Structure 1
Amino acid sequence: MAARGESTKRFGEKRQAIVHAASVLINAVGVQATTLSDVAKAIGLNATSITYYFSRKDQLVVAVYEETLDRMERMASEALAEPTPAKRLHKYVALHVELRARVRRGESGLLTALSEVRTLTQERQKPLLERYSKVVETIRQFFGQADTSEKRALFSARAHILLEAMMWWPVWSLRYSTLDFPRVQERIVDILSFGIPARKGEWDPFTLHNRTWRTDNGGDTKQNEEFLRVATIMINERGYRGASVNRIAEALNVTKGSFYHHHEAKDDLVLACFQNSYDRLSATQMAGQNAQGDYWTRLASVLHELLDVQFFDQTPLLRTTALQALEQEHRMDVVTRSNRLARRFAGMLIDGIADGSVRAIDPLVASQIIMSTLNGAYEARRWAQRFDDGEMAICTYVSALSEGLLADV
């Protein structure tokens, strides 16, 4: 009996090591590029040994996602046990910061990006998505009882933005030493709790000029622009692997040959989608930066335009989750440009602090929260389209930045 127990323990430990190694690889290169052989090599096994624990790769991928959801559920439940919304928010951020510190120390316990769950079969993805919805529901409860439809919509947006901020944190945390984590944690909590403007709740955006970042519904659309539009939407919804060349070509009613006439490979199309999205984001930033008025109003106008694009434009911005599938060289180029755009937001925030329209916050931290809020807005598109008034959807969503997650709780 003791020998059987020891054998079961060894089996569990080895299985856990396999799941952890697969999690690291999926975060690094995406699901498609992760092979059983690579996982086996990472922990000193051969590929045949891996099949003793997981006979198919998709079984291992599901196990990775299940472990991440287990951890997300535990963290959300632990935070919810705190007595007030403020303490729940603080606890939840602290748990994520501490997790990243443990990972830096070489301990196990990653959160795997869930961007490619929808590339699994319907049978495998359904229970995973249901569990994710439960995590969102738990976080929604951080802010109190959603006893009206308006409160439910607001708390849903807050839960979504908080989750997005914490899932983006591992990316930009690399710019900080773990010695700085306690300070960064407090800055994250402060910005999420109370928002950005000096006058809490201020939101009076104006219309920016030369809106080249919007889709021209009345003009003739070039075929390459259509490729970018369809590919962006498909990658946002299905992930890199789910957005196959066949699906993109079928959606446009063209041949695969037509696709390869415009793009040598799918990676070229993904890079073009990133380039297009960042060009549009940059153009919006510059229009706001070159406008008149205090800097919070200029920034509010930029946020309004970009959220309108994410919620209602025919061509949204590409989510950063597509990064996983890109080769390291291309990924670094994309991340570098993303950081430049974040720094431009930081510059606007610094100017806003100087002119008194922005609170004395950490602009580098706030700029990353802005980036995650905009990036995650596409996932809230269905949420936004339930509103009778699109302006109310934008105002409700952006209230996380204009007045904070703890307003009126």
Structure 2
Amino acid sequence: MTLDTPQIADPSDRWRAKRERILDAADELISSRGLKGLTFGAVGEAVGLNTTSITYYFKRKEQLAAAALDRAVRRLDAMAEAAGAAPDPRARVAAFIADRLTQERRIRAGEDRHIAILSEIRALDDPLRAELIDRYKAMRIRVAGFFATGPAASPRPAPPRDIACAQVLLDVTHWMRAWLHHYRTEDFDRVRDRMVDLLAGGLAAPGGAWAPRPLEIDPPEKSGPSGEPGPEAFLRAATVLVNVRGYRGASVERIAARLNVSKGSFYHHLEGKDDLVMNCFARSYDRVARAQTLAMAQPGTGWERLADCVGGLLDRQFEAEFPLLRITALHALPLDLRVQALRGADRMARRYAGMISDGIADGSVRPVDPLIASQCLAVMINGAYDVHAWAQELPMTRAEAIALYASVLGFGMFGPQGAAG
């Protein structure tokens, strides 16, 4: 079944309205619990229907999940189309951010709901997974059109840097839901202005250069007894699988098969999948903290040290053998573990804020809002794994691709050092 296959021959308005209510409930469940928490029982309880009634609209859970995620992509695409009507790149970016903040205002007022977490697309099976990924990429191309100097809707191949700008813009606006609770709605206009300023001008003060020094982030991996994979190997395998297939798709069987060991070996090292994902988060946070610590010990300006840290972590993301765990994986965790993982992400971002503040103090970083900039920087680094495969197709080295991607927040989307296109 494809996404466009009709459920019935001639749906009535009443049928459509009830189907939308089911999709609304699915959106909330995917946003709060991931696909792991999406069940017909939970959806039926939310809309006042029994499981049999839900199957009248969606025969399988996979179809319901795909329909909800497809609607989420279409909602983002509609926002991008509206923002693309603004007269120039900066105005388009500002309009897109403003639309996302307006949505958050409506959510707080009980008039709207969150867009489903799009990273859950990876947990679906083909052909639904492939079709949704293609639709997401088409939506990203529309956002890349923001950075055209002429009309955003004019047909043209998107230059690589415009794709990078689009990915970063989508990531930082989607991640806002994780930190906007720190702000009252009265502050949203200021949040918009500070985000637009950051994306327009970047972090580096005029004259700053991208010349990151190498950091030794990962120690050598140790094997277990008799050459058996050690705990680090399980973390590496699980991290890659969660990033590629989502929490649900990273089954114990797949993790064990990737390492060519038995399920018994898995449970010898770990109690279960939630335990494994929390260990993966802890390992990712430790790697970021090590990169931050090593960079802060380097001589030079605040910007130079920040570039060292960002460059080292982006190299791990683009190399893709052992990337950082996707932050969005936390949505599938039980609430107590999710809160713990979010605290770790917040501590990581606050350390970036300190590094940014050091650079502002010595004049090597522009006077941006450190707290907002740190959240954007953290999710830009985390989301780099999404573009590593695309970057491998570019006619440039990995270092050049990293420099192109880093320039989006490093030097801004519209300035002379980071001119779009």
The residue number in structure 1 matching 2:360 is 353
Paired residues for 1:228-243 under 5 Å: 228-243=235-250
The residue number in structure 1 matching 2:30 is 26
Q: Which runs of 5+ in 2 are unaligned?
A: 1-10
The alpha carbon displacement at 1:314 in A equals 2.3
The alpha carbon displacement at 1:68 in A equals 0.4
Other structure's SS at 1:62 match: helix
Asked whether the equivalents of residues 201 and 399 of structure 1 are also in contact (C-alpha less than 8 Å), the reply is: no
Q: Distance in 2 between matches of 1:87 and 1:30?
A: 33
Asked whether the equivalents of residues 280 and 325 of structure 2 are also in contact (C-alpha less than 8 Å), the reply is: yes
Larger deviation, residues 44-53 vs 302-311: 44-53
Other structure's SS at 2:187 match: helix
The residue number in structure 1 matching 2:62 is 58
Q: Distance in 1 between matches of 2:59 and 2:74?
A: 22
* Letter matched to residue 195 of structure 1: G
- The answer on 1:393 being equivalent to 2:401 is yes
The alpha carbon displacement at 1:20 in A equals 0.6
* Letter matched to residue 240 of structure 1: Y
Other structure's SS at 1:406 match: coil
The alpha carbon displacement at 1:41 in A equals 1.1
- The answer on 1:48 being equivalent to 2:52 is yes
The residue number in structure 2 matching 1:364 is 371
Paired residues for 1:53-92 under 5 Å: 53-92=57-96
* Letter matched to residue 399 of structure 2: E
User: Residues 231 and 252 (structure 1 numbering): CA distance in 2 closer, same or farther, change over 3 Å?
Assistant: same
Q: Distance in 2 between matches of 1:201 and 1:295?
A: 11
Asked whether the equivalents of residues 165 and 413 of structure 2 are also in contact (C-alpha less than 8 Å), the reply is: yes
Deviations 1:385-405 (A, max 9, x none): 235422211110100112111
The residue number in structure 2 matching 1:12 is 16
Asked whether the equivalents of residues 89 and 149 of structure 2 are also in contact (C-alpha less than 8 Å), the reply is: no
The residue number in structure 2 matching 1:35 is 39
The residue number in structure 2 matching 1:117 is 121
The alpha carbon displacement at 1:109 in A equals 4.1
Other structure's SS at 2:413 match: coil
- The answer on 1:278 being equivalent to 2:285 is yes
Asked whether the equivalents of residues 236 and 318 of structure 1 are also in contact (C-alpha less than 8 Å), the reply is: yes
* Letter matched to residue 403 of structure 2: C
- The answer on 1:254 being equivalent to 2:261 is yes
Deviations 1:167-222 (A, max 9, x none): 111111122111111110111111011101122653232234xx2x23637x7585
Q: Distance in 2 between matches of 1:88 and 1:369?
A: 18
| Match for residue 343 of structure 1 among 350, 363, 383 | 350
- The answer on 1:205 being equivalent to 2:212 is yes
The residue number in structure 2 matching 1:155 is 162
Asked whether the equivalents of residues 31 and 331 of structure 2 are also in contact (C-alpha less than 8 Å), the reply is: yes
The residue number in structure 2 matching 1:224 is 231
The alpha carbon displacement at 1:145 in A equals 7.0
| Equivalent residues, number | 398
Q: Distance in 2 between matches of 1:45 and 1:404?
A: 49
Deviations 1:211-260 (A, max 9, x none): 2x23637x758521111111100100000111111111111110000000
Asked whether the equivalents of residues 23 and 64 of structure 2 are also in contact (C-alpha less than 8 Å), the reply is: yes
The residue number in structure 2 matching 1:188 is 195
Other structure's SS at 2:118 match: coil
Aligned-residue sequence identity (percent) comes to 42
TM-score normalised to structure 2 length: 0.90
Asked whether the equivalents of residues 39 and 61 of structure 2 are also in contact (C-alpha less than 8 Å), the reply is: yes
Q: Distance in 1 between matches of 2:38 and 2:157?
A: 43
Asked whether the equivalents of residues 208 and 364 of structure 2 are also in contact (C-alpha less than 8 Å), the reply is: no
| Match for residue 181 of structure 2 among 161, 174, 178 | 174
TM-score normalised to structure 1 length: 0.92
Q: Which runs of 5+ in 1 are unaligned?
A: 1-6
Asked whether the equivalents of residues 232 and 316 of structure 1 are also in contact (C-alpha less than 8 Å), the reply is: yes
The alpha carbon displacement at 1:141 in A equals 1.2
Q: Distance in 1 between matches of 2:158 and 2:244?
A: 27
Q: Distance in 2 between matches of 1:166 and 1:255?
A: 41
The residue number in structure 2 matching 1:141 is 145
The residue number in structure 2 matching 1:334 is 341
The residue number in structure 2 matching 1:4 is none
Deviations 1:334-371 (A, max 9, x none): 10011011001111111211111111110000000001
The residue number in structure 1 matching 2:414 is 406
User: Residues 151 and 126 (structure 1 numbering): CA distance in 2 closer, same or farther, change over 3 Å?
Assistant: closer
The alpha carbon displacement at 1:37 in A equals 1.0
* Letter matched to residue 143 of structure 2: I
* Letter matched to residue 68 of structure 1: A
Q: Distance in 2 between matches of 1:400 and 1:84?
A: 17
The alpha carbon displacement at 1:54 in A equals 2.1
